[in-house]
Structure 1
Amino acid sequence: MANPIFYFSSCLFLSIVIILVKFFHKVWWTPIRIQSSMKSQGIKGPSYRFLHGNTKEIINMISKIRSSPKEVLHHTFPIIQPHIYSWIKLYGMNFLQWYGPQPQLIITEPELIKEILNNKDRAYPKAKAPNYVKQLLGDGLVTSEGEKWLKMRKLANHAFHGGSLKNMIPAMIASSEIILQRWRHYESKEIDVFREFKVLTSEIISRTAFGSSYLEGQHIFDMLTRMAHIISGNNYRIRIPGIGKFFKTSDDIESENLEATIRSSFMNMMKKREQEAMLGNIDGYGHDFFGLLLEAYHDSDKTKKISVDDLIDECKTFYVGGQETTSSLLTWSVLLLAIHTDWQDKARNEVLELFGQQNPDEYGN
């Protein structure tokens, strides 16, 4: 009769060997094979480093370039993406880099970018979002695909068609007038326009899409901004798969707490809007973006109905996507107009020609 201890030890040893073989096949053999195959096709790039890929190089390059003040007005690319800037010069417009053992094909040729974005044959699916991004955006319009994406896209289109946008103009004007009035007290003083535009866009989004004031939604914006900062800080940190189930970093714990609080805030907004609808204070659930989401949540038609998770994910996506992109665009526009005063004069004259000394209204007058 075989010794049970020997049998157990043999099975354990064999299991460990199998695990190690699979591990090294994934983090060493497969990356080396892919790198060699891509190189034979003319696609070069920085060498793969065991386990972490090129992430340490990227972190070091970013830290180095941002450790000292730079002239950013005309040379932003080398500061924002120093690794891509450097590797384009070394390896060409298209190259292979490594996010841990995961290969990333970087495409910078305009024609190839156009082909990928068109994606007529659906050959380029969206990449699976990391956990941090999932906590920030959930499975909303940005990360979803297929029928779910189509359903959520229809809702967004309905909320922001031409007629709806025209109805938002008075609220946009009111928010803009408030911030301009505040700026008049800063005459001959510096203004942090990025911070000011974040306040402005937050106010407009809260009013037009969620029917609330900036003060009511400020805590949501603050929490989402904090989550975005956590994502940025962990973007190039490689972690062993599955370790998060047993060991959580301070960022993991903070992100989970933020996610729970954000969810609770949106649930409170839902309850408040539902109560207003029951009391007849509003038409249906309202005609803004939040109201249309609530209407879809309560829809009896299963093909149109969305879950509470879908609703919350769309709210988070719109809060983050709408505010960050718009505030950044406004800031860069003002910066460039300040640098190129001739275009500033042209823009001002065009506005005066179209609207004179009065604000536009919902009819475009």
Structure 2
Amino acid sequence: MTIASWGLKLLYVIWWRPKTIEKKLWKQGIQGYPYKLIHGNIKELIKFAEETESKPMEEQPHDILPRLNPLLHHLVSTYKKSFVIWYGTNPRVVIMEPNLIKEILENKSGDFPKPEINSFTQLFVTGLASYNGHKWAKHRKIMNPAFHFEKIKHMLPAFVSCTEEMIGKWRKLVDFMGSCEVDMSAEFQNLTGDVISKAAFSSNFEEGRLIFLLQKEQGRLFLESQMSINLPFLRLLPTKVNKRMRHIHKEVGSLLTGIIGKRVKAIKSGDHNDDLLDMLLRSNLNELQDQKENSNTAMSLEDVIEECKLFYFAGQETTANLLTWTMILLSMHSEWQDRAREEVMQVFGKNKPTYDDLNRLNIVNMILLEVLRLYPSTSLIRCTYKETNLGNLSLPSGVQLFIPLYLVHRDTEQWGEDAMEFKPQRFSEGTFKDAKPYFPFGWGPRICVGQDFAMLESKLALAKILQNFSFQLSPNYTHAPYATVTLQPQYGAQIILHKLGQGDKGRQLQVQQQLIV
């Protein structure tokens, strides 16, 4: 290929194609900041973020968008429902209308697939959450048995063991000092890392912990890579981030290859474990035996490795976030903390909860659903690979569709004027009351396969905490929701734990506490 043809191709990628798409979108009323060469709207995004990041959230603590994504806040205030943001050369159309969201998520013909996996994503994590078409269907079929509720019930002892270890550590601190301050963000990252290590790799727990730590670092590097200019050749450069991501990718792959090889041998010799890896490999081996003439129906070793990596990201990070935000919100709204504790004591008192007990915790369930409404871990992205109709829109090929759940879940037209308020009673009749637009685990055929796993783990951890402690926000806590790979408190989640009965007076003094900035 000549220099001239390379130059023309580059010009097409960085100017002709984006401006052509922009023109088609603007004609249909999908507007926003104009596309700028190579950078798109990245400079505006950074500028808005720098202006608001240091500002406190002084009025409504759950109105998080102005701080979380000030550019998006500015555009939604101007254009309301649909508009475009340029991330480099990629157009991202924001979709907020519930009927259009459901049309995207319920589509079974492949019109709105997940975006193409780039090299940075390949180094971090792919798996079921990233695949499309036949590969997604194959992996979903193999993984479904591992996440059946009967299988998850058998993982409860691993959940209990890890949770009681954390509670025991806290109890020693409280007994010694009368009360103690704990950063719940760090504690729950460790808890859910331990849980996923035991639930996924029970007989290789220490190796599982090492994989968890490496994947956590890889997540930070992945986020750093996404803030660079989005041109494919830049991913090949020997930068510090690129080299470290490749090293971690290789190390995690080597660790998982060893674990998987040992486990396959054990399964073939008749040994049995009730963890995720064992169930995934058994399901995969069954698929191989049933379809001997077409081995393409089973996963390769590389496929199994990617699913194991996904266990860590989805099973650890998102559940840790749910528990962290739940503790923060129950500290802000102590009346719901009291109601949840009363329910826990009524259902199983000081006894160890069973699977059936946890499913009887209606108030706890309502609280978790409301936390997921206000503080969903992430948002949803789909794309178009051809000219595609969506409602009355005709979307050109190469458009990303962005569904910002933290906005959709706060839409006053759908949720009422109190949409910014913490009101778990919204879910007194479950998630389908009034058919509200609620998608914390996705929707349609691609709904999260691990949602029952996450909810059971969260219910157990919260119930055990409520059994043992009362808690309140520390004066050191700063309410600063921050979007990294997932939605997290930027400066940690400092919570003061008290023995039951001893913290009531302190909490009453701080019910109306102003959030420290």
Give yes or no for TM over 0.5.
yes
Q: Does the 8 Å CA contact 1:176/1:200 hold for their aligned counterparts?
A: yes
* Structure 1 residue corresponding to 2:90, chosen from 96, 102, 114: 102
Aligned-pair CA distance for 1:29: 2.3
Q: Does the 8 Å CA contact 2:85/2:91 hold for their aligned counterparts?
A: yes
Query: Which whole-Å CA distance do the structure 2 matches of 1:242 and 1:261 have between them?
Result: 24
Q: Does the 8 Å CA contact 1:166/1:362 hold for their aligned counterparts?
A: yes
Are residue 81 (structure 1) and residue 69 (structure 2) matched? yes
Query: Which whole-Å CA distance do the structure 2 matches of 1:109 and 1:362 have between them?
Result: 37
* Structure 2 residue corresponding to 1:197, chosen from 164, 185, 188: 188
* Structure 2 residue corresponding to 1:321, chosen from 303, 307, 314: 314
1:166-185 superposed matches below 5 A: 166-185=153-172
* Alpha-carbon displacement from aligned partner over 1:219-252 (angstroms, at most 9, x marks no partner): 111111111111111213114333444x221100
1:50 is aligned to 37
Are residue 234 (structure 1) and residue 225 (structure 2) matched? yes
* Structure 1 residue corresponding to 2:79, chosen from 86, 91, 98: 91
With a CA cutoff of 8 Å and minimum separation of 6, indicate the structure with the bigger relative contact order: 2
Name the aligned partner's letter for residue 318 of structure 1.
F
Q: Does the 8 Å CA contact 1:209/1:289 hold for their aligned counterparts?
A: yes
In structure 2, stretches of 5+ residues that fail to align are 359-517
Aligned-pair CA distance for 1:39: 1.4
Change (3 A) 1:69 1:151: same
Q: Which moved more, 1:231-240 or 1:342-351?
A: 231-240
SS of the counterpart of 2:154? helix
1:252 is aligned to 242
Query: Which whole-Å CA distance do the structure 2 matches of 1:21 and 1:216 have between them?
Result: 49
Name the aligned partner's letter for residue 22 of structure 2.
Q
Q: Does the 8 Å CA contact 1:54/1:97 hold for their aligned counterparts?
A: yes
Aligned-pair CA distance for 1:325: 0.8
Q: Does the 8 Å CA contact 1:297/1:311 hold for their aligned counterparts?
A: no
Q: Does the 8 Å CA contact 1:166/1:363 hold for their aligned counterparts?
A: no
Name the aligned partner's letter for residue 61 of structure 1.
F
Query: Which whole-Å CA distance do the structure 2 matches of 1:278 and 1:118 have between them?
Result: 39
Query: Which whole-Å CA distance do the structure 2 matches of 1:118 and 1:108 have between them?
Result: 15
Name the aligned partner's letter for residue 50 of structure 1.
L
Query: Which whole-Å CA distance do the structure 2 matches of 1:270 and 1:17 have between them?
Result: 49
Name the aligned partner's letter for residue 319 of structure 2.
T
Are residue 125 (structure 1) and residue 116 (structure 2) matched? no
Are residue 262 (structure 1) and residue 252 (structure 2) matched? yes
In structure 1, stretches of 5+ residues that fail to align are 1-11
Are residue 339 (structure 1) and residue 329 (structure 2) matched? no
1:352 is aligned to 345
Aligned-pair CA distance for 1:295: 3.1
Q: Which moved more, 1:323-332 or 1:92-101?
A: 92-101
SS of the counterpart of 2:37? coil
Query: Which whole-Å CA distance do the structure 1 matches of 2:223 and 2:350 have between them?
Result: 43
2:16 is aligned to 29
Q: Which moved more, 1:124-133 or 1:293-302?
A: 293-302
SS of the counterpart of 2:83? strand
Query: Which whole-Å CA distance do the structure 2 matches of 1:270 and 1:336 have between them?
Result: 40
Q: Does the 8 Å CA contact 1:45/1:96 hold for their aligned counterparts?
A: yes
* Alpha-carbon displacement from aligned partner over 1:128-174 (angstroms, at most 9, x marks no partner): 12221221113x10111222212221232201212112111222112
SS of the counterpart of 1:189? strand
Name the aligned partner's letter for residue 348 of structure 2.
F
1:142-181 superposed matches below 5 A: 142-181=129-168
Q: Is the strand fraction higher in 1 or 2?
A: 2
Name the aligned partner's letter for residue 221 of structure 1.
F
Query: Which protein is bigger by CA-based radius of gyration?
Result: 1
Q: Does the 8 Å CA contact 2:81/2:95 hold for their aligned counterparts?
A: yes
Change (3 A) 1:18 1:205: closer
2:446 is aligned to none
Aligned-pair CA distance for 1:279: 6.0
- TM-score normalised by L of structure 2: 0.63
Name the aligned partner's letter for residue 256 of structure 1.
R
Name the aligned partner's letter for residue 341 of structure 1.
S
Name the aligned partner's letter for residue 110 of structure 1.
P
Aligned-pair CA distance for 1:304: 4.2
Q: Does the 8 Å CA contact 1:156/1:289 hold for their aligned counterparts?
A: no
Query: Which whole-Å CA distance do the structure 1 matches of 2:183 and 2:84 have between them?
Result: 39
Change (3 A) 1:244 1:213: closer
Query: Which whole-Å CA distance do the structure 2 matches of 1:25 and 1:343 have between them?
Result: 56
Name the aligned partner's letter for residue 191 of structure 2.
L
Q: Which moved more, 1:40-49 or 1:76-85?
A: 76-85
Q: Does the 8 Å CA contact 1:296/1:304 hold for their aligned counterparts?
A: no
Give the paired residue count: 347
1:141 is aligned to 128
SS of the counterpart of 2:40? coil
- TM-score normalised by L of structure 1: 0.87
* Structure 2 residue corresponding to 1:111, chosen from 99, 107, 121: 99
Q: Does the 8 Å CA contact 1:159/1:287 hold for their aligned counterparts?
A: no
Q: Does the 8 Å CA contact 1:45/1:87 hold for their aligned counterparts?
A: yes
Are residue 216 (structure 1) and residue 215 (structure 2) matched? no
2:302 is aligned to 309
Name the aligned partner's letter for residue 346 of structure 2.
E
